[in-house]
Amino acid sequence: MAEFIDAGRVDELPPGRGTSVTVAGRDVALFNVDGTIYAMEDSCLHQGSSLGMSELQGHVVTCRGHGWRYNVTTGAILHAPDVGVDTYPVKVVEGRILIAFGEQQAAP
């Protein structure tokens, strides 16, 4: 069983927004989609731009660097769904966002 690590407060991430955090030395993008929190690697595969600081619309984040679009639930790039970034399991406990790295899910 993976250890969940505190990544911040859920009330600091309003619905429809993303953010970037560093957790256990890793850069992680967090997204709030209609009250559900998702976590994924915070580096666009194209040129490494922050995904957490990019535009979120529904379940899709568009990289602010050159417009690559990712599904935040799977980490997959929309134009090449068999490629993407790692995603991480998330749970919210007593208002805290917790992420597990031991069970990271490789993009398709």
The 10s digit of each residue's pLDDT in 38-50 is 999 999 999 899 9
Torsion of CA 53, 46, 7, 35, to 10 degrees: 60
On whether residue 106 sits in a domain, the answer given is no
Percent of the chain with pLDDT over 70: 94
Please state the domain count of the chain.
1
Does pLDDT of 15 surpass 80?
Answer: yes
**Best CA proximity match to 75, nearest among 100, 43, 33, 27:** 43
Q: Which tokens go with 85? A: 């970034």
In the structure, what pLDDT confidence band is assigned to residue 27 with cuts at 50, 70 and 90? very high
Name the average pLDDT for the chain.
93
Joined together, the tokens standing for residue 80 give 């090449």
Is residue 31 exposed (0-12), middle (13-18) or buried (19+ Cβ within 10 Å)? buried
CATH number of the domain to which 39 belongs: 2.102.10.10
pTM of the model: 0.91
47 in a structural domain: yes
81 is in which domain, residue-wise?
A: 4-100
Q: Tell me whether residue 80 is in a domain.
A: yes
Residue 105 inside a domain? The answer is no
Apex 82 CA angle, 66 and 72, nearest 5: 60
* Contacting residues for 22 by C-beta, under 8 A, at least 6 apart: 28
pLDDT band at 103 (very low <50, low <70, confident <90, very high): low
